[in-house]
Amino acid sequence: MNYFSRRLTSLSFAWVLGAFVAAGPCLSAEIDFNTQIRPILAAKCFHCHGPDEGAREAGLRLDTQEGAFEDLGGYAAVVGGDAAASELLKRVRSEDPDIRMPPPDQGPVLSQEEQAALEAWVQQGAKYKTHWAFEPPVKSEVPNAVADFSKAPRASSAIDHFVRERLRNVSEQPPSQLADRYTLIRRLSLDLTGLPPTVEEADAFAADDSPVAYERLVDRLLASPAFAEHVGRDWLDLARYADTNGYEKDRPRTIWPYRDWVLQAIAADEPFDRFSIAQLAGDMLPNATAEDRIATGFHRNTMLNEEGGIDPLEYRFYAMVDRVATTGTVWMGLTTGCAQCHTHKYDPITHTDYYALMALLNNADEPEMAVETEAVEAAEVALQKQIDAEENRLVKRYLTNLPRPTADPKPVAAESSKATPAENVEESIANAFRGWLEIQINEAAEWSNLRPEQMKSTTPYFERLPDDSILAGGDVSKRDVYELEFNPKAPVSALRLEVLPDPSLPANGPGMAYYEGRKGDFFLSEFKVFWNGKPIALENASHDYGKISVGSGDAAASSVLDGEGSTGWSTSGREGQASQLVVNLKERIDPAAGENDAENPATLRIEMLFERHFAAPLGRFRISATDSDQAMAATSMPVDLLQQLAGIESTEEAEALPGYADLQRLFLDSSDLLKEPRKRLDSLRRQVPTPPRTMVFTERPAEHPRATHRHHRGEFLQVKELVEPDIPSLFGGLGDERPHNRLELARWLVSEENPLVARVMVNRIWRSLLGSGFVRTDGDFGTQSEPPSHPALLDYLAIEWIENGWSMKWLYREMVLSTTYRQASEKDPDFDPTNRWLSRGPRFRLAAEAIRDQNLAISGTISRQFGGPSVYPPQPGSVTALAYGSGKWEPSVGADRYRRSLYTFRKRTAPFAAYTVFDAPTGEACAARRQRSDTPLQALTLLNDEMFLETARQLAEKTVADAGDGAEATLIATQLFRHVLIRPAEKAEQEMMLDFYNDQIAAKVSPAQAWFLLARALMNTDEAITKP
C-alpha cells in the first residue's frame, strides 16, 4: 500500500457550486477546475498534499498539476484523460479503510457528486487553473436581464443587470419591489452616516416626487462629515485602532491624530491608492508632510508590551508578525499569517515568502512626533507673546543696569537675600547677578567637542549630527554597550558627556526608554575610558542633576565609576532637557607624548554601558574634552554659554556676548531673589500647551538596514538564514528595477500587478451595505475561500472603481444608487433565505456604535464635533476597575459626554461595555468583519445602561415639550414613535402605545415617567436597532 493513501486529510466541506449540487455533474459538460474541483481538493486534500512541504505526506502534491501528474513509481495520482489509471480516484472510492482517502479518522467519504466531478475532470484531461483570485480581474460586458423580470422594478445600473442575470440562473422568482420612501431614507442614512434622518428630513423626502430626489439625498449624505466618521469606523477595525497599548499594563497611548487623519482623508475622498500608500509608507514619500507621517500610524496600532522583564526585541518581533498578517488581510484578503510557522498549507505562500514580506515592513524605526494642531499653535503664539513681554519687563527692571566694580573690587556674593535696609530690591538683585556672572566666568573652561572616528553599539545605530552630537536610533535592549573612538589633537584632563533632547526620541529624550520606565529616560551604568587600548584611571565624576524613577539605587554620577552594573546615573524627571556629566582623569593624557604620529594617531576610546531591568540607553549625546589644570565639575549652564564665557575675563565683556540675554534669563529663572517677581512668569509658562505626540513610522537610514531572518516555526529565538525583502513569489516578486522597500510594497499593493486589492475592498464595502460580501470569507480570498456569488459583478466593480480614480465615495454611490440596494427587505422563507442571490434588500442589526449614536441623535443630545482626543462617556465603573493598572473611569462632562461613539476611549483589556455586548472588536487584532450575535445581554443593556436611560429620558422630555401644554397622549405617543422609527405609526401600533401609557398611569406612575418608559421600550424594539 502506498503511504500517501493514508494521509489525505479531510476538512469540513464548506460548499459546492449551487447548480452543481442541485443537478449533479454532467459528464459531458466541461468541468471548471476553480469552481468545481479546487474546492474539493482544498477542503479534503491540501492539508497533507498541498503547498506546505513540511506537512506534505508521501511526497504527493495535489495543488499543482506537476505534482498531481508526477510519477510515483509506476503510477500517478492523476492521469489526465484516464480515470481508471488515476490512483486518486481509486482511493476516494475505496471502501477499504486502509486504502480510502480521506482516511476514516480524518473525515467522511467524498459524496457521489464530488466523486463524479473528479472523474469527469480527470477524463477531460485534469486541467489545472490558477486560483480565480490570483488572476487579474476581467471586465465583462453588462448583461441585459431586463426582459426576464418584467414585473420587477426598473434596473437602474449595471449592478442590477449582473444581479438579475445571476438570479435568473437559479430561479424564476423576480427580485423584490422597491422599499417605501421612509424605509429608504432611514436605511440610506444609517448606511452612509451611521445616524438616522430627522422626522422632518424623512417627510420632505417622502413628499419629493422629483426623479432625482433619491440621488440628491445620496449626494448630501456622502458630503456630510458623518459619512467619514461612519465609514472610518470600519477602516479603524481593520487598523486595530485603540487608545491603549494592550497586554498586561495596557497604558494609554496618544494615537488619535491617526484616527483623525483617516476621517479627514475619507471626508476629502482621498483616492484609495494614495490613502493606502500614505498609511504604509507616508514617511518615504517625496517631500513628505506632517500628515503623511501621521498616516503611518496604521502600523503603529500594534500592541506594545510594557510588562516588567520583557525583551523589547521579542515583542517588536511579535508586532511585526501582526503587521504582516494585517497587511495581508487588508490589501490582499489573504491569510498570510498562516505562513509564520511553516509554508501555508493551502495557499502558495511559502515560509520564506512570509519573512520576505516582513522584511519589506521591518526597516522602519518607531518614534513619536509632535502634532501641532491649530488650537495648540494659536495658544502657544499668544502665550509666548505674554511670556516674552514679562521676561523683558523683569530683565529691564532688575538685570539691565549692573553696578560697576570699584578700582579695588571685592568679591560679590553670588546670591544673597540679606540686603541692607538702605539697599533697594533692584540694586540687591543686580549685585547678585554681577556676582553670579563673575563666578561663572572664573569657573568657565575651554571645552572642545570630540568627533568620533568610529562608533558602534550592540543594538542601536548612530548618526553624527552637525553640532558634533550623536543621535542613536533603531532597536534597544536591556543591556546596550556604546563604543566611541576619538583621535584628540590636544591633551585631555577631563571629559564631559552632555545628554541632549531630540524630537525624534520618546518624550523628546534624552534617553530611548519606551517599553518600561519613564519615556525618554536613560540609565548609564558604567563609563570607561581607554587610551591606546589601555584603561585609564578616573578620579571622580559629577553631574548637574540626577534621579532614578524606577527601582532603587543611587543616581549619583560617581555610580558610573564603581564597576557595578546595577548602579548608575539617570536624569529621570527631566525628559526633554539637557544635562551633563563630567569625569576627571587621574592623569592627563597627551597625544603628543609617546610614539603616535599622523599615520598612527593616539586613540581615545569611551565605553558606556546601559544596563537595567528595562531598556534605557541614551538617545542623543555629545562628548567634549578639556585640558584645564583645575578639577572640573558639571554645571547646569548650557554648553554654548560656557563656551562664550570661557573667552572673557570680566562682567563688562559679558554684556557684549551674543548670549548675554540668555545669561540674564538663566539667572532670572534660577535666582531665589527673583522667586516672588517671577510668579506671574512661571504661571504663564505653565499655561503653554504641550502638543500631542503621536506614534509614526520612520524609515531607517540606508546605511543602517535592519536585518530580517526566517524564524523556524515562527519562534523569536529560532533565528535562521537572512531573508531579502520581497513580495510573495506567487505574484512574481518586485524584480530588479525598483527598490525593495516599504514604499514599493505600498505602491505594488495598489497597482494593477496586485489582482486582489480592488476585489477585496469592493467586497468589503458591498458587505457593509448588503450584509454579505460576494465572497463571504471577507479576510480570505485564498483557495479555502468561498467562491464569489457574483464573480462577474465583483470584477466589473473592481475595474470600474480603479477607472474612476479609486474614489471611495464613487463606489458607495454606485452601490446605493442601484435598484438592488433599494429593494424591500421582506424575507421569503422559501426562497433565498440568506439573500445570497440578492433577491431582496438588506436587513440586519446595527453595529454597536450606530445603536448608541442613533439614540444620541434622536434624543437631540449628540455632539457633532469632528475629531479630537478620545472621550469617556458613562459606563459602569467596574468595567475598568477590575483591569490591571487601570485608573478610575471618569465620565466626560458637557458636550464630550455626547460625542459620537467613534471617539470613545478604547481600552484593549477592558473595552467599553456597551460596545462589547454588541460585538465591537477590542483592537487587539485586525478585524476584517464583525460577527453579529443576538443575546439577552443586548436587551438588558438597552434597558439599563446609563447612557440609554439618559437618552430615553431626554427624548421623552423633548417630545412632550415640543407637543406643548395639554397635548393629547396620542400625539405624544406617535411623535415618540416617529423619532425612534422615522415612519408613521400604524393604527394598531398607536393603540398599543396608548395602552402601554395608560397602564403606567393606572399604576400611579407620573406622566413624565410613563413617557420615559414608552421611549425606552421603543428604543429597545428589534426595528429600532435594525437597518430596515
Task: Pick the range with the lowest mean pLDDT from 153-157, 174-178, 590-594, 961-965.
Answer: 590-594
Identity of the amino acid at 802: I
Identity of the amino acid at 538: L
C-alpha–C-alpha distance, residues 883 and 912, integer Å: 12
How far is the CA of 45 from the CAs of 134, 261, 342, 354, in angstroms?
20, 45, 17, 23
Partner residues linked to 471 by β-bridges: 463, 620
Q: Is the pLDDT confidence value at 981 over 80?
A: yes
How far is the CA of 732 from the CAs of 63, 377, 753, 755, in angstroms?
18, 48, 9, 12
pLDDT, tens only, 984-994: 999 999 999 99
* Grid cell of 4 as nine digits: 500517501
Q: What is the pLDDT of residue 421?
A: 44
Q: What mean pLDDT comes out for the span 601-619?
A: 94
Q: What is the pLDDT of residue 5?
A: 33
Phi, psi of 665 (to 5 degrees): -70, -35
Residue 770: closest CA among 710, 832, 728: 832
Q: What is the pLDDT of residue 404?
A: 64
Q: What is the pLDDT of residue 406?
A: 53
Q: What is the pLDDT of residue 639?
A: 87
C-alpha–C-alpha distance, residues 1006 and 91, integer Å: 77
Q: Is the pLDDT confidence value at 765 over 60?
A: yes
How far is the CA of 174 from the CAs of 164, 197, 643, in angstroms?
8, 30, 88
* Grid cell of 994 as nine digits: 396608548
Q: Compare 425 and 420 and report the one with higher pLDDT.
A: 425
Q: Is the pLDDT confidence value at 420 over 60?
A: no
Q: What is the pLDDT of residue 100?
A: 87
SS3 760: helix
C-alpha–C-alpha distance, residues 881 and 877, integer Å: 6
Q: Where are the beta strands (DSSP E) in 653-752?
A: 693-695, 698-699, 709-711, 719-722
C-alpha–C-alpha distance, residues 753 and 423, integer Å: 84
pLDDT, tens only, 802-833: 999 999 999 999 999 999 999 999 988 888 99
Residue 907: closest CA among 933, 939, 880, 937: 880
Phi, psi of 283 (to 5 degrees): -65, -20
Q: Per-residue b/e over 446-473, b at no fewer than 16 CB within 10 Å?
A: ebbebebeeeebebbbbeeeeeebbbbb
Residue 801: closest CA among 748, 752, 842: 752
pLDDT, tens only, 271-315: 999 999 999 999 999 999 999 999 999 999 999 999 888 899 999
Q: What is the pLDDT of residue 108?
A: 83
Give start and end residues of each alpha helix (H) in 868-945.
878-881, 913-917, 936-944
C-alpha–C-alpha distance, residues 609 and 527, integer Å: 7
Q: What is the pLDDT of residue 405?
A: 59
Q: What is the pLDDT of residue 760?
A: 99
Residue 146: band (very low, low, confident or very high) from pLDDT cuts 50, 70, 90: low
Q: Is the pLDDT confidence value at 198 over 60?
A: yes
Percentage of the chain modeled with pLDDT above 70: 94
pLDDT, tens only, 76-96: 999 999 999 999 999 999 888
SS3 588: strand
Q: What is the pLDDT of residue 410?
A: 46
**DSSP secondary structure of 179-238:** PPHHHHHHHHHHHHHSSPPPHHHHHHHHH---TTHHHHHHHHHHHSHHHHHHHHHHHHHH
Q: What is the pLDDT of residue 643?
A: 86
How far is the CA of 90 from the CAs of 5, 37, 722, in angstroms?
10, 17, 44
Q: Is the pLDDT confidence value at 408 over 70?
A: no
Q: What mean pLDDT comes out for the span 492-505?
A: 96
SS3 791: helix
Quick check: 342 and 55 in contact, CB under 8 A?
yes
Q: Compare 853 and 434 and report the one with higher pLDDT.
A: 853
Phi, psi of 1013 (to 5 degrees): -65, -35
Q: What is the pLDDT of residue 576?
A: 93
Phi, psi of 290 (to 5 degrees): -60, -40
Q: What is the pLDDT of residue 887?
A: 76
Residue 20: band (very low, low, confident or very high) from pLDDT cuts 50, 70, 90: very low
Mean pLDDT score of the chain, rounded to an integer? 91
Task: Pick the range with the lowest mean pLDDT from 27-41, 55-69, 575-589, 611-625.
Answer: 27-41
Identity of the amino acid at 232: G
Question: Residue 968, exposed/middle/buried by CB under 10 A (0-12, 13-18, 19+)?
Answer: exposed
C-alpha–C-alpha distance, residues 745 and 728, integer Å: 11
| Residues sharing a CB contact under 8 Å with residue 545, sequence separation 6 or more, in sequence order | 571, 574, 579, 636
Question: Residue 189, exposed/middle/buried by CB under 10 A (0-12, 13-18, 19+)?
Answer: buried
CA torsion angle 847 851 856 859 (round to 10): 150
Q: What is the pLDDT of residue 4?
A: 31
Q: Is the pLDDT confidence value at 416 over 60?
A: no
Q: Is the pLDDT confidence value at 35 over 60?
A: yes
Q: What is the pLDDT of residue 106?
A: 79
Q: What is the pLDDT of residue 882?
A: 77
Q: What is the pLDDT of residue 565?
A: 86
pLDDT, tens only, 396-405: 999 887 766 5
**DSSP secondary structure of 729-754:** GGGT---SSS--SHHHHHHHHTSTT-
Q: What is the pLDDT of residue 390?
A: 95
Q: What mean pLDDT comes out for the span 995-1004?
A: 97
Q: Is the pLDDT confidence value at 467 over 90?
A: yes
C-alpha–C-alpha distance, residues 836 and 615, integer Å: 54
| Residues sharing a CB contact under 8 Å with residue 951, sequence separation 6 or more, in sequence order | 855, 856, 858, 859, 861, 1019
pLDDT, tens only, 312-336: 999 999 999 999 999 999 999 999 9
* Grid cell of 836 as nine digits: 445570497
Which residue shows C-alpha cell 396608548?
994
C-alpha–C-alpha distance, residues 973 and 145, integer Å: 46
Quick check: 191 and 811 in contact, CB under 8 A?
no
Q: Compare 916 and 556 and report the one with higher pLDDT.
A: 916
C-alpha–C-alpha distance, residues 505 and 474, integer Å: 11
Residue 247: band (very low, low, confident or very high) from pLDDT cuts 50, 70, 90: very high
Q: Is the pLDDT confidence value at 419 over 70?
A: no
> Which range has the top average pLDDT, 375-384, 664-673, 1014-1023?
1014-1023
Residue 360: band (very low, low, confident or very high) from pLDDT cuts 50, 70, 90: very high
